[in-house]
Amino acid sequence: MTRLAALIVRETTLAWGRGGGPLVALGFYAGVATFLPLAIGPQHDRLAAIATGAAWVALALASLLSLERMFERDYEDGALDLLLLSPVPLELTCLVKCAGQWLATGAPLALGAPVAAIALGASPALAPLIFACALLGGIAFAFIGGIGAALSLGARRGGLLTAVIVLPLFVPPVIFGGGALANFAAGLPWTGGMAFLGAYAAAAVAFGPLAMAAACRNALS
Amino acid sequence: MRAPKNLPKTLDDRLITQLSIRDAAVRRGGRLLFEGVYLELAAGEACALTGPNGSGKTSLLRAVAGLVRLEAGDVGFGGVDPADARGDLHLLGHADGLKASRTAREELTFWTRWGGGNDDALREAADTLELVPLLDLEVRRLSAGQRRRLAIARMLAAPRPLWLLDEPLSPLDARWRVAVGVLMQRHLDRGGLILAAVHDPLPAATRSLELVA
For the stretch A57-88, pLDDT in tens is: 888 888 888 787 789 889 989 999 999 998 89
Is the minimum CB–CB distance between A220 and chain B shorter than 8 Å?
yes
Residue of A nearest to B69 (CA): A221
Q: CA neighbours within 13 Å on the CB side: how many for A9?
A: 14
A30 neighbors A54 (Cβ within 8 angstroms):
no
Q: Determine the distance in angstroms separating the CA of A80 from the nearest CA of chain B, rounded to an integer.
A: 7
What's the rounded Cα separation, in Å, for the pair B126 and A168?
A: 48
Q: Report pTM.
A: 0.89
Do the chains contact at A73 and B111, CB–CB below 8 Å? no
The closest CB to that of B113, out of A2, A74, A79, belongs to A2
The closest CB to that of A221, out of B68, B89, B91, belongs to B68
Residue of A nearest to B81 (CA): A87
What's the rounded Cα separation, in Å, for the pair A135 and B201?
A: 57
pLDDT band with cut points at 50, 70 and 90 for residue A56: confident
The closest CB to that of A85, out of B69, B89, B106, belongs to B89
What's the rounded Cα separation, in Å, for the pair A98 and B186?
A: 40
Percent with pLDDT over 90 in chain A: 40
Residues of A in contact with B97 (CB under 8 A): 74, 77-83
- Residue B133 per-residue DSSP state: G
pLDDT band with cut points at 50, 70 and 90 for residue A18: low
Is the minimum CB–CB distance between A80 and chain B shorter than 8 Å?
yes
Residues of A in contact with B90 (CB under 8 A): 85
The closest CB to that of B91, out of A77, A81, A221, belongs to A81
What's the rounded Cα separation, in Å, for the pair A215 and A153?
A: 8
Is the minimum CB–CB distance between A77 and chain B shorter than 8 Å?
yes
Task: Find, among A69, A57, A91, A103, the residue nearest to A205 by Cα.
Answer: A91
pLDDT at B8: 46
Helix (H/G/I), strand (E/B), else coil: B165: strand
Residues of A in contact with B89 (CB under 8 A): 85
B118 φ, ψ (degrees, to nearest 5): -115, 175
The closest CB to that of A78, out of B66, B93, B114, belongs to B93
Residue A51 has pLDDT above 90, yes or no: no
What's the rounded Cα separation, in Å, for the pair A172 and A165?
A: 14
Do the chains contact at B101 and A76, CB–CB below 8 Å? no
The closest CB to that of A77, out of B90, B95, B110, belongs to B95
pLDDT at B10: 52
Q: Tell me: the pLDDT tens digits for A38-47?
A: 888 878 888 8
pLDDT at B205: 66
Do the chains contact at B102 and A13, CB–CB below 8 Å? yes
Q: Tell me: the pLDDT tens digits for A88-134?
A: 999 999 999 999 999 988 899 999 899 988 888 888 888 999 999 99
pLDDT at A57: 85
Residue of B nearest to A217 (CA): B67
Do the chains contact at B84 and A87, CB–CB below 8 Å? yes
B178 neighbors B157 (Cβ within 8 angstroms):
no
Instruction: List the pLDDT tens digit at each of the 213 positions of chain B.
Output: 555 544 444 576 778 889 999 999 999 888 899 999 999 999 999 999 998 888 899 999 999 999 988 999 999 998 888 888 888 999 998 889 999 889 999 999 999 999 988 899 999 999 999 999 999 999 999 999 999 999 999 999 999 999 999 999 989 999 999 999 999 999 999 999 999 998 888 777 678 888 876
Mutate which: B99, B160, B165, vs A, most A CBs within 10 A: B99
For chain B, how big is the Rg over CA atoms in Å? 17
Is the minimum CB–CB distance between A154 and chain B shorter than 8 Å?
no
Q: Which residue has the higher pLDDT, B92 or A51?
A: B92
Residues of B in contact with A3 (CB under 8 A): 113-114, 116
Mutate which: A10, A73, A90, A96, vs B, most B CBs within 10 A: A10
What's the rounded Cα separation, in Å, for the pair B164 and A64?
A: 37
Do the chains contact at B113 and A74, CB–CB below 8 Å? no
DSSP line for B86-114: GGGEEEE-SS----TTSBHHHHHHHHHHH
Is the minimum CB–CB distance between A74 and chain B shorter than 8 Å?
yes
What's the rounded Cα separation, in Å, for the pair A177 and A134?
A: 8
pLDDT at B7: 46
What's the rounded Cα separation, in Å, for the pair A65 and A109?
A: 12
pLDDT at B132: 93
Residue-wise burial string across A194-218, b where 16 or more C-beta atoms lie within 10 A, e elsewhere: bebbbebbeebbeebbebbbbbbbe
The ipTM value here is 0.88
pLDDT at B2: 56
Q: Determine the distance in angstroms separating the CA of B44 from the nearest CA of chain A, rounded to an integer.
A: 22
Q: Say how many CB pairs under 8 Å bridge A and B.
A: 72
- The single-letter code of the amino acid at A117 is A
Sign of the four-CA dihedral B178, B183, B188, B194 = negative
Please give the mean pLDDT across all residues of chain A. Answer: 88
